[in-house]
Chains A and B, each alone.
Chain A
């Protein structure tokens, strides 16, 4: 079975502070990991995926197979980063995504 755990329901930081949204997963094979984001009044959308190894809007995430983690990081948070963030996992060869319960990020001025 595959499972995604996001331990924090809410993360509140000040503008300019570093941000780390935690994600741990459980999967026996080689997973694909994703971060999806939902801004206020917008659709849930893909932020980044680990196989792309890219930085989107200043966010990066590294897959750590030893710790089974895929934490999302940004060195300097901006107010416009306030949103709901979901970590998601897809098993190898499958097209479905298992989502974590999400973390609400609030960036205050």
Chain B
């Protein structure tokens, strides 16, 4: 398995443009997470899905951010319109919770998408 696959790896765009980040989770995993990494705030959970259903999007900064998971093998994170403060590395991760409710499945991360908004 190639692991969690994210694209693009790097994106440079101008303020006001729409940005779409993509993620393919590990086959068979039932949880998918989107995290944002910045120097100031570290790793922040934006949203997560269970069996393609959004469970908690309270970490999404504002209405400019949206995420979808149309099927078990694909998710997108969209920013429209983008702003310079959105510049960060966005990580997608997936997991399979095998010992719920006692345990948390190990998170497998993608390589991240580095976004720069000018």
Binding site for B on A (CB under 8 A): 32, 34, 36, 43-46, 49, 51, 86, 90, 92-102
Contacts and interface: CB of A to CB of B under 8 A. Distances in A.
Contact of B101 (A44, A86, A93, A101): A93
B42 A99 contact: yes
A93 B100 contact: yes
Interface size class of B (residues with CB under 8 A): 20 to 34
A92 B91 CA distance: 24
Nearest to A31: B104
A97 B45 contact: yes
A32 B104 contact: yes
Contacts, number: 57
B25 interface: no
B43 A90 contact: no
User: Would you list the 3 A-B pairs with minimal beta carbon distance, nearest first?
Assistant: A101-B42, A99-B43, A90-B104
A32 B107 contact: no
Contacts of A90: 104
B106 A46 contact: yes
A36 B107 CA distance: 9
Contacts of A93: 100-102
B33 A96 contact: yes
Contacts of B56: 96
A102 to B, nearest CB: 6
B50 A102 contact: no
A101 B43 CA distance: 6
B19 interface: no
A90 B105 CA distance: 10
Contacts of A43: 3-4, 108-112
Interface in B2-60: 3-4, 31, 33, 35, 41-45, 48, 50, 56
B97 interface: yes
Contacts of A100: 42
Contact of B50 (A92, A95, A99): A95
A96 B48 contact: yes
Contacts of A94: 104
